[in-house]
Structure 1
Amino acid sequence: MTDLPLTRADALARLAAFVPVAGQDYGRLRNLDLGPGRHRHVSRLSAALRRRLITEDEVIAAVLAHHPYPAAEKFISEVFWRTYWKGWLESRPGLWPDYLRAVAQAGARLETDQDLRLRHARACAGQTGIDCFDAWVQELDSTGYLHNWARMQLASIWIFTLGLPWELGAAFTLARFVDADPASNTLSWRWVAGLHTAGKAYLSDAGRIAAMTGGRFAPKGLATRAVIGPETLTVPRPMPPRAPVRPAPTAPSLLLLTPEDLSPETVPALQDLPIRAMACLDGESAADRIALQDALARAQARWPEARCKGALAPADLAQAAQDGAQIVTAFAPVGPAADRLTALPRGLPLTEYLRDWDAQVWPQCQKGFFALKQHIPAILAKRGLA
């Protein structure tokens, strides 16, 4: 059972508890993985930020109210990393269907390659004999969470020591993380595998694992060389992110919630819309469903005259839209939510709102992270956060 916040109230409480240590303490201790239930040096806000139960602006504003930017720079950079992955993938949307095809192809190999099937099964069960890897798999299965530093080690061991396709590893973690984000998950695995920055892979080190875990682990037999596979891809040139079809400001509207943005009451673009009804698409996980119900309750409090239709299957949305001339939903970045919206029945009057945060930051995410990092102080100043 996860202790990650899946309601806005819990997320705000977690943020308030974390703020005192978000400065130099975070910068110094953030990579320590002390084990399940002891991740006190990181915020554990990822599940809430992934669903925008709270926003990046809210988190950064709270941190900067207690710490000057230089002291909080490490934590704020981590908030921007999440946005960076989304913006980078938005500029190269074809990598998502490429990944899905590669997962299917690797899955097909499992059917015919007995050795690969056995090694994959042992990895997924946490029965490899590599102490840290097996413990992390068990923690992930029981809590839906891993420390970010541990995620890099697990991915590196999966790829370079166990010799398993990175795509199967990315699919394994995407299905289990309570904070699963398609951009962060897919692109982080690509980065570890040496496919994000050409020729630069991430190789786990047994001594560093022992140090960062307080001596809990002493892994044996880790790869000492990162062999970047022959499937190395040419990264496509970035393109401008797709533009949303914006809602008409005076048209009666049905507000459609997805796990991409679950604090609609904080969106300036929605405040004056005549929202007549609200609904959500069925969540794909138990965590999604908890967060969606919390968001629906808050939306109902904000727009009490709107009819709440609850969770709908895609086929039921056309009937529900009869209450409004347009369906208004959050911009869905590349990933499963966007795929589900694309698969809705044709002809639905679907419109999207794009958060100002994304509109401002995504254009700076087309190269490496450090190209974005140099713009962070200016972004914060422009947004009134510094």
Structure 2
Amino acid sequence: MKIHQPTRAAGLERLADFTAQAGFNYAHKRNFDYGPEADVEADPWRDNVSRLSPYIRHKLLTEQELIEAVIKVHGSQKADKFITEILWRGYFRGWLEQRPEVWADYVTGRDDALRAMQKLGSQRKTYEQALESRTGIDCFDFWMKELIDTGYLHNHARMWFASIWIFTLKLPWQIGADLFLQHLRDGDAASNVLSWRWVAGLHTKGKSYQATKENIVQFTDGRFTAIGLAQEFVPLVESKSYKFRPLKVPPAPPAAAAFALLVHEEDCHPESLTLPGKPALLIGVSGPDGKSPKGVADPVREFAQGAVTDALTRGSDHFGCESVMWNKGQKLADVMKTAGIERLIVPWLPTGPLKDAIGREVNGCNPRWVMRNYDAAIWPLAKAGFFPVKKKAPDALAPLGILL
């Protein structure tokens, strides 16, 4: 499998290569996991998933331009399955943004589970066997190695992996979600945590995801025996209900004589932001290690940092301004003071680890926030389940020129 490079140019190249497959092939083959060694050049039929997620997650490519690209080639109906997956990403982002306590409780639950494991010998042993690919479940052990070695898993494999982790190995879902954030290049607070909750039966109450031998054998093209899986998948329960807090879309920032634009790893396409003018300075920041108390794997850190570096390079060329990094140990206010700039504009910081790490300091600089029109259209729709979002998406996106 070709390793993702953290640049917009690499993302555009992959998008161009995949677009032809985003219609019929994606609709009919997206659930098949042919493995990292699949020869997609010899057999394009196996090029069945986009592998664009690291670029979308860091907004090196935007959801809007992906939807526009596949509609241009296939039309909205033939590209519906691919567009639906893009909408799922926006749904998860909007759902968590309007229920931020879910993220806070995940962090608390994760830390509690990690501490408790140190006192539970049998659970710790199972956890260590899982990390070392020694569970004896051939598919799970393969996926663990693939995750650690490549920083990627097929979406279907992620669902099977999480189900086996929770229901067969009986390990805390929060520790599994943390493992993904440590190793996935596309690790995203909303999609990751809410997907693990969905598998566990917490997101859709009372409905868990079942990893079965028959399903795994079928959709991995017979690569595994998948022996030793749980036969019961009793959904997890929680007593707490989370209050829906409607998203307040920020107004467009007013014109400013001179302002700095913060470029962070949640939005690495500054050229396409709606700004009141050209920034006088770009300030880059990256903090992927905040995703986990254990830090993140080198490929995750390198991709996030590389994406911000690429964004600063492109942004400086586009706007004709200088760029600097806001490094660990520095104060953002001091970076701005050194540059002689008082005003700050910031692309929206979604609920998650980066906001936890820098949100308070950013707010201390009295920023103006910028939210992308696509996000402002889709995120507020995430009031309950996904399908109302999909139903309302055509009307929500039509003003942006996206005709579904």
TM above 0.5: yes
Task: Give the structure 2 partner of residue 302 of structure 1.
Answer: 318
Q: Measure the CA separation in 2 of the matches of 1:345 and 1:188.
A: 29
Q: What secondary structure does 2:124 align onto?
A: helix
Q: Measure the CA separation in 2 of the matches of 1:207 and 1:194.
A: 21
Amino acid paired to 1:97 = A
Residues 95-154 of structure 1 show CA distances to partners (whole Å, capped at 9, x for unaligned) of 111000000100111111111111111112221110000000100111100000000000
The reply to whether residue 64 of structure 1 matches residue 71 of structure 2 is yes
Please, which of 263, 275, 284 is the counterpart of residue 280 of structure 1?
284
Shift in Å, 1:221: 1.6
Residues 222-243 of structure 1 show CA distances to partners (whole Å, capped at 9, x for unaligned) of 11111223x5243313111245
Q: Which residues in structure 2 correspond to 1:139-154 (within 5 Å)?
A: 139-154=146-161
Please, which of 365, 372, 380 is the counterpart of residue 363 of structure 1?
380
Amino acid paired to 2:259 = S
Task: Give the structure 2 partner of residue 318 of structure 1.
Answer: 333
Shift in Å, 1:283: 3.9
The reply to whether residue 373 of structure 1 matches residue 377 of structure 2 is no
Normalised by the length of structure 2, the TM-score is 0.91
**Contact in 2 for aligned 1:156/1:203 (Cα 8 Å):** yes
Q: Measure the CA separation in 2 of the matches of 1:37 and 1:18.
A: 18
Amino acid paired to 2:136 = G
Shift in Å, 1:383: 2.2
Q: Which residues in structure 2 correspond to 1:127-206 (within 5 Å)?
A: 127-206=134-213
Q: Which moved more, 1:164-173 or 1:244-253?
A: 244-253
**Contact in 2 for aligned 1:314/1:344 (Cα 8 Å):** no
Q: Measure the CA separation in 2 of the matches of 1:136 and 1:315.
A: 39
**Contact in 2 for aligned 1:5/1:47 (Cα 8 Å):** no
Shift in Å, 1:340: 1.9
Task: Give the structure 2 partner of residue 19 of structure 1.
Answer: 19
Shift in Å, 1:44: 0.6
Q: Measure the CA separation in 1 of the matches of 2:255 and 2:384.
A: 35
Q: Measure the CA separation in 1 of the matches of 2:131 and 2:160.
A: 15
Shift in Å, 1:261: 0.6
Residues 25-47 of structure 1 show CA distances to partners (whole Å, capped at 9, x for unaligned) of 10000001000143621001100
Q: What secondary structure does 1:18 align onto?
A: helix
Q: Measure the CA separation in 1 of the matches of 2:138 and 2:400.
A: 45
Q: Measure the CA separation in 2 of the matches of 1:126 and 1:232.
A: 30
Q: What secondary structure does 1:300 align onto?
A: helix
Q: Measure the CA separation in 2 of the matches of 1:178 and 1:93.
A: 23
Q: Which moved more, 1:169-178 or 1:338-347?
A: 338-347
The two structures, once aligned, show a CA RMSD in angstroms of: 1.7
Q: Which 5+ residue runs of structure 2 have no aligned equivalent? A: 39-45, 289-300
Identity of aligned residues (%): 39
Task: Give the structure 2 partner of residue 36 of structure 1.
Answer: 36
Q: Which residues in structure 2 correspond to 1:60-139 (within 5 Å)?
A: 60-139=67-146
Q: Measure the CA separation in 1 of the matches of 2:194 and 2:113.
A: 18
Q: Measure the CA separation in 2 of the matches of 1:234 and 1:346.
A: 30
**Contact in 1 for aligned 2:326/2:332 (Cα 8 Å):** no
Amino acid paired to 2:374 = W
Please, which of 371, 386, 399 is the counterpart of residue 354 of structure 1?
371
Normalised by the length of structure 1, the TM-score is 0.95
The reply to whether residue 249 of structure 1 matches residue 265 of structure 2 is no
After superposition, the Cα gap between the structure-2 partners of 1:346 and 1:371, relative to the gap in structure 1 and judged at 3 Å, is closer
Residues 185-226 of structure 1 show CA distances to partners (whole Å, capped at 9, x for unaligned) of 000000000000110000101011011001000111211111
Q: Which 5+ residue runs of structure 1 have no aligned equivalent? A: none
Amino acid paired to 2:333 = A
What number of residue pairs does the alignment pair up? 382
**Contact in 2 for aligned 1:133/1:157 (Cα 8 Å):** yes
Q: Measure the CA separation in 1 of the matches of 2:253 and 2:335.
A: 17
Q: What secondary structure does 1:195 align onto?
A: coil
Shift in Å, 1:312: 2.3
